[in-house]
Amino acid sequence: MFKRRIQVMSGSTYMVSLPKDWARLHNLKQHDEVVIEILPDLSLKVSPVQSRRSFEKSYTFYLSGLRAYDMIQLVSAYLAGYDEVKINCGRCSADYARSVVRELINKTIGLEIVETSQFEYVVKNVAGDFSIGVDEIILRVFRILRMMLQDLSNALAKEAGRDVYLEIAERDSLVDKLTLYGLRVFNKVFTGEILPKDIGFKSFAEVNVYYNILRNLERTVDHVAFLARDLSDLDGRLDERVREATLNHINTLADFCDKVMNLYASKSGKDFSSLLNVEYENVKKAEETNRRMIASNPNYFFIYDNLYRVRGYLLDIVELVSDIKYLTQRLQFGEG
């Protein structure tokens, strides 16, 4: 810990010196710039504009032949912020390596093959990390979720076949791509490679809230996709009373989702008590009706379980939007 006395220059400017060891650590010289942030607790964070910390841009991965392991490792490298990944075939066949590379490219945004050889593929992030703003990613995922719920309701009402449900479930792959891209950008902030202001935020606290909103949205879509896949296995064979209760449950969730999306998009910090008093209570009533109906039909428990989790994640997002409201108020006070 360092202590410094505040100096007053010209009667209005407050100055404090920086510790010499800290300046040397970051290779700072006379006339170099630093960034000063006011944090939510009103403390100050001082960072060099150009940090001495450098980040590896390229990573070499040797395929093991175990597909699940190889994909997890490669996606993790993407999330960590590597701009270039060299995928070495190792002892694996060229066909296996090619299929892994294709799957990696299909799962992500921005990665493309830039070089190939007999033993190695080089994939590179050619889109950059700012081609889609994280706020736009969250709104896109919200819209996909809302449409999935609406189309799931229509499929149930029309007693649609297996293919309709599978098409709804497949939209989860687009959400996964958007989410991985957003988490990659967030991780670059958390590691200090970029600053919150580089992606439109004023503090790390704000970044953390939006990170959690995106993760909760992804999980919400996962459970809608799980439900659609499970319903596809029934191929239209669903007890009529369960169908009616499930339809009502999904429709109230779709309305609730729509209101949560509008609350997020408004960014106004407006009062949302009506959302909790009306739409949320409607969801709870429909949920309880569905629970009682499925209690006598345990083979349909997967319906209640997935919709219950959708409701829980959407409520978490409401709470996070409230966090944004109060963080914004504190930060505005600090700027004043």
Averaged pLDDT, groups of 10, the chain, 336 residues long: 73 77 71 76 74 74 96 96 94 93 96 92 89 94 98 94 95 97 94 87 90 98 97 84 93 96 81 88 94 86 96 96 84 62
- Statement: the pTM of the whole predicted model exceeds 0.85: no
Give me the pLDDT at residue 334, please: 54
Calpha distance 23→316 (Å, rounded): 42
Give me the pLDDT at residue 54, please: 66
| Contact (Cβ atoms closer than 8 angstroms) between residue 38 and residue 25 | no
Strands (E) in the chain, as ranges, are 7-9, 13-15, 34-38, 44-48, 58-62, 84-88, 111-116, 120-125
Pairing relation of β-strands 7-9 and 13-15? Answer: antiparallel
Q: Which residues of 161-177 are buried (b: 16+ CB within 10 A; e: fewer)?
A: eeebbeebbebbeebbb
Give me the pLDDT at residue 194, please: 86
Per-residue CA distances from 312 to 18, 76, 107, 214 (Å): 47, 27, 27, 14
Give me the pLDDT at residue 62, please: 96
Closest-CA residue to 108 (of 83, 89, 91, 135): 83
Helix (H, G, I), strand (E, B) or coil at 35: strand
Give me the pLDDT at residue 52, please: 45
